[in-house]
Amino acid sequence: MNGTDLLPPERTLPSDRRDQILRSVLSDEQPIRTPGRRVRWIAPIAVGVVAALVAVGAIVLADSDGGAPSNPPPATHGPNLDLGPLSRAEIDAELSCTGPSTSEALEGSEPLYARRIDGPNGPIPVFVMPPMTRDQVYLVDMGRLTIDRVPATPTEQRPIRRLIVPVEGIDLSGSDLRWYKHLLDPRPLGLRVYDGTPEYWKAAGLYRVADSVDRVEVRVGSPGGPEPWRVATPHNGFVFWATWIERADYEPGTELTLEVRAFDANGDPIHPELIPDRPQTITVRGPGEPSKSKCGHFILMR
């Protein structure tokens, strides 16, 4: 008996999928290298992995020391989350918070995505940086950093890919693995952070999308009813979305819902099966932990 008798029969990749993958691979225009640097990230253990840096806020239930405001802010901040491009100076200012090593490593690198995104406490910078070599991926203690890999290139069949926030180390060794584990935060949809705003709840995520995706919309629902849909617009194949509740005066145990939907350029909805974040319920856990960092919060992806 051959060992393959244990196994299900082999299959051929369906011809349409086969063609799609090949086209996608050949059209992959991701930067190959950062000019002037050695590209050691293509070592076997890191093959296919892209390093990037994103300033991002994710799930937040902030400290309630400030108490509920006497005059609650409006229920929504306007329909479009995208408030325009970030300047290089703004990016550099955020990078400087990560310490000289990271800042130096990324000096001169052009971001793949750099937008100013509306947030509950005003605009937040969100950016994705191109690959860094392994030895350049070094961070000081931001306390709220993590690593991720850019997902495979979206296709028409799978037009939206989510960046998955890991909770365990990847195949790194030595000091890389040590700091990687240090940066982890086992929370769904991102990180638990505190950015100085005392009263809100927020969820956010970053997608890599195909050209056919025109916009992503997101809203959160509470016992008082759903908030308005907030609109996130893709740029250069990335789209960052966020939603929040202005007054998070909910007791621990309160259930909030999160919904994400997407549309193509014709205004037709993209099938919910193709959207990584499905409608889900998240339970309020309690006050968040204030971060020691005075800077924004970042996700480092590689």
- Interaction site with another protein (CB under 8 A): 1-13, 17-18, 21-22, 24-26, 28, 30, 32-33, 39, 42, 44-45, 47-49, 149, 152-153, 155, 164-168, 170-171, 186-189, 255, 272-273, 278-283
**Which residue carries 């016992």 as its tokens?**
223
The smaller minimum CB distance to another protein, of residues 167 and 265, is found at: 167
Instruction: Give the nearest distance from C-beta 180 to another protein in angstroms.
Output: 12
> Which residues pair with residue 282 across a beta bridge?
256
| Spatial distance between the Cα atoms of 208 and 301, rounded to a whole number of angstroms | 13
The smaller minimum CB distance to another protein, of residues 77 and 302, is found at: 302
* Closest by CA position to 54, among listed 154, 124, 151: 124
The smaller minimum CB distance to another protein, of residues 232 and 282, is found at: 282
Instruction: Give the nearest distance from C-beta 177 to another protein in angstroms.
Output: 13
Instruction: Give the nearest distance from C-beta 255 to another protein in angstroms.
Output: 8
**What is the full DSSP assignment across 140-209?**
---SS-----PPPPP-SSS-EEEPPPPSS--S--HHHHHHHHHT---BTTB-B---S-SS-EEEEEEEEE
Instruction: Give the nearest distance from C-beta 65 to another protein in angstroms.
Output: 26
Question: Encoding tokens for residue 268?
Answer: 């037709």
The H-or-E segment that residue 125 falls in is: strand 124-128
The H-or-E segment that residue 22 falls in is: helix 15-26
* Closest by CA position to 119, among listed 297, 286, 299, 300: 297
| Spatial distance between the Cα atoms of 105 and 37, rounded to a whole number of angstroms | 9
**Which residue carries 């995104």 as its tokens?**
117
The smaller minimum CB distance to another protein, of residues 182 and 187, is found at: 187
The smaller minimum CB distance to another protein, of residues 92 and 156, is found at: 156
Instruction: Give the nearest distance from C-beta 261 to another protein in angstroms.
Output: 12
Instruction: Give the nearest distance from C-beta 116 to another protein in angstroms.
Output: 28
The smaller minimum CB distance to another protein, of residues 224 and 272, is found at: 272
